Every structure is written in structure tokens, then in C-alpha cells.
Amino acid sequence: MASGNTRPTSRDVAQAAGVSQAAVSLVLGDKWRGRVSETTAERVRRAARDLDYRPNLAARHLRLGRTRTVLLVVPALTTEFFAGVYTGAARIAAHHGFGVVLYPSPEGIGPARDPFASAPAALDGVIASSMAADALTAIRRDRLPLVMLDSDPTGNLGTATVNLDITDGTHQTADHLLTLGHRHFLHLAADIPSWTFDIRARALAARLRTVPGTSLTTAHTPLTIDGALTATDTALDTPGPRPTAVVCDDDKLAAGVYKAARRRGLRIPDDLSVTGVDDITLATALDPELTTVRLDAELFGERGMQALLAVLDGRTPDDGDIPVHLVVRGSTAPPGAP
């Protein structure tokens, strides 16, 4: 046992736990599963706590050829959703002794510079939103393990893919509005070349085609409130059946619809039902509160980090999309409701 001012070593931990130094290395390096028992692992952890053992991380990382650093690439730092993704990823990373560097893609999408002198030398892996995929070119994704979020699972861009079940969320929205009696729809679509927005458009159109008498108009808009206001104005002035329901790709777009409707003297939901996606704080700040698809951003980040850790350990990440659900509030009602 260590004594005085002598710093305890892994040998001290091994002796206290009655195991080999190799077992100590496995347990404290979180590599023990399938190699030592849960009982042994807990005995090692208890001995390390009792001795106040702190491994020499710098030496261990150098020995393993790892930096214990992960890059999270997102479209922007200012969005509440991606703040949640970071929080979830950082929570899991910290539990495993990793740090997360947050890197926003310039202008939301598009090419970006390598944030390091050499990303492959400074990082163990990358987690990236499909909305920021172009930023990965400079980071040389081919030389780093890459987990893609909100990305086509049939593509080969990343080592692994983690998705929210956005198709089901779109179906839930469409079914809710159809059940209320809506037949004429406006889709306010984010004007961003991204798989996640493409899949929303396809899922909405496919669901509406199953019900006779429906019409669907699509208006593309920048992912801003002002852009949504302009796109809504233009769509409502277009000849044809007037939409009674607006399906928005994002809660911010729904706020733009609210502004456009009120400028025209239209009441929500009496004259126009509106839905969003994300369920950020804005959704309950609007009046009436917004019906929207709730996406668990923190769980999304957690699953992304867990997938990257699995890849780094040579394991197959868990599959299956993360469930989402529609939160029904005051912005939706039957068409023409009094």
C-alpha cells in the first residue's frame, strides 16, 4: 500500500484488490467487459477510490495512441437543439474520460477549415450532423472514425449512423391533422440540402397520398423566422386551394407562420393550424402554444457518443432509431373551428 506522500500506483491498486495490474488497467480503462467479472471490476474501482489513485492519463494516452478528444461538428452554436446534442455527448464522454470539442460549420453549412493543425493527430473521432457534412472535407474524415447524426443510413459517409425516427414523427403530424379533418396542406420546408429535411418531405407527401382529396403545396425557406414569414405570404397568395394546415420543418419556421397569419388577420388555429419540429423553448412561448414533434436532443447526443465509443472499441454500435413523439398543443384544431 502507498504511504506518506508517495503517489499510489496501479500496482498498489492491484495488491489492494487482489488482482493483476492487467486487470486494473482493463477496469480503469473501461475495457473490462467480457474480460473480468462485474464483481472484480467493482473491487478494483473500490480499491482505486480508497487509495485515491489517479492514473497518469498523459502516459496512458501516449501509450495507446489516443488523445481522448472527440470533435462534434454542428451547423451552428446558437441553436437550442444542438446545444442539447452537445450536452448529451459531453455527459457520456466525461463518464469515459473523453473531452468534446464543439465545432460549428461556417454559415451553418458549407466547407470549413481544419480546426487543428492536423485533425487526425489531435482527435480520436468525429461526430457530425448531416447538416454540417460539407465541413468534414477539411477534417479528412477518411482518416478518423466518424459517426453521422441525422444521416442516410444507406450512405457510406460515416463509420456509424445515429438517427431520430423523423419519418414516424412526420407520420404522427400528418395523421393528427388528417384526423382533425384537414385536407389542404402547406409544407414549409427548410431550404437546406440535408437528408433529414429530404426524408421529412418524402414522408409527408407519402402519407397524404394515402387519403383521397388531399392537396400539398411545398414552400422552401431559409431556416429563419423572417424567411418563413416571406415564404408563407407567397404560398398563401398562390392560386389554388387555401391551406388550412401548415407543417413546418422547425419550430422557428412555425414562428414565421404565426407572424404571417396575424398580419393577414388569420387566427391560429381557427383559420390555420400550424405544427413544428424540435419542441424547443420557443414552442411554448408562442401563443397559442405550438403542436410540435419533440426530439430528445440530449439523448441524441448521448447515443452519438456511445456509438463512437463502440467504434473506437471495435464493437458494433446499437442500432434502431430514437423514438420521437408529437406533443399536441393549442395551434391545431379542425379546419374552420369556431
pLDDT band at 10 (very low <50, low <70, confident <90, very high): confident
Question: Model confidence over 28-75: pLDDT tens digits?
Answer: 777 778 888 889 989 988 888 888 876 654 444 444 446 788 889 887
- Asked if 251 contacts 274 with a C-beta cutoff of 8 angstroms, the reply is no
User: 187 - beta bridge partners?
Assistant: 218, 247
For 271-275, what is the mean pLDDT?
Answer: 97
CA distances 271 to 185, 275, 289, 332, 333, Å, are 13, 14, 16, 10, 9
Given this model, what pLDDT does residue 140 score?
Answer: 55
Given this model, what pLDDT does residue 322 score?
Answer: 95
- Phi, psi (rounded to 5 degrees) for 325: -150, 150
Residue ranges of domains in the chain, CATH in brackets: 10-55 (1.10.260), 66-162+298-315 (3.40.50.2300), 166-296 (3.40.50.2300)
For 240-251, what is the mean pLDDT?
Answer: 94
Given this model, what pLDDT does residue 152 score?
Answer: 85
% of the chain at pLDDT higher than 70: 83
Who contacts 43 (Cβ-Cβ below 8 Å, separation ≥6)?
Answer: 17, 18, 19
For 6-13, what is the mean pLDDT?
Answer: 80
CA distances 133 to 34, 82, 155, 268, Å, are 35, 15, 12, 36
Please give the Cα distance from 75 to 131 (Å, whole number).
Answer: 6
Given this model, what pLDDT does residue 2 score?
Answer: 47
> In this model, does residue 325 exceed pLDDT 50?
yes
For 104-122, what is the mean pLDDT?
Answer: 53
Q: What angle do CA 37, 41, 47 make, to 5 degrees?
A: 145
**DSSP helix/strand/coil, 292:** strand
Mean per-residue pLDDT of the chain: 85
Given this model, what pLDDT does residue 106 score?
Answer: 54
Q: Provide the H-helix boundaries in the chain.
A: 10-17, 21-28, 38-51, 57-64, 80-95, 119-122, 166-180, 195-209, 225-237, 251-263, 282-285, 297-312
Who contacts 4 (Cβ-Cβ below 8 Å, separation ≥6)?
Answer: none
Cis peptide before 8 (omega within 30 of 0): no
pLDDT band at 319 (very low <50, low <70, confident <90, very high): confident
Highest mean pLDDT among 77-81, 140-144, 194-198, 227-231: 227-231
> In this model, does residue 121 exceed pLDDT 60?
no
Who contacts 230 (Cβ-Cβ below 8 Å, separation ≥6)?
Answer: 221, 256
Residue whose C-alpha cell is 455527448? 89
Residue whose C-alpha cell is 437528408? 195
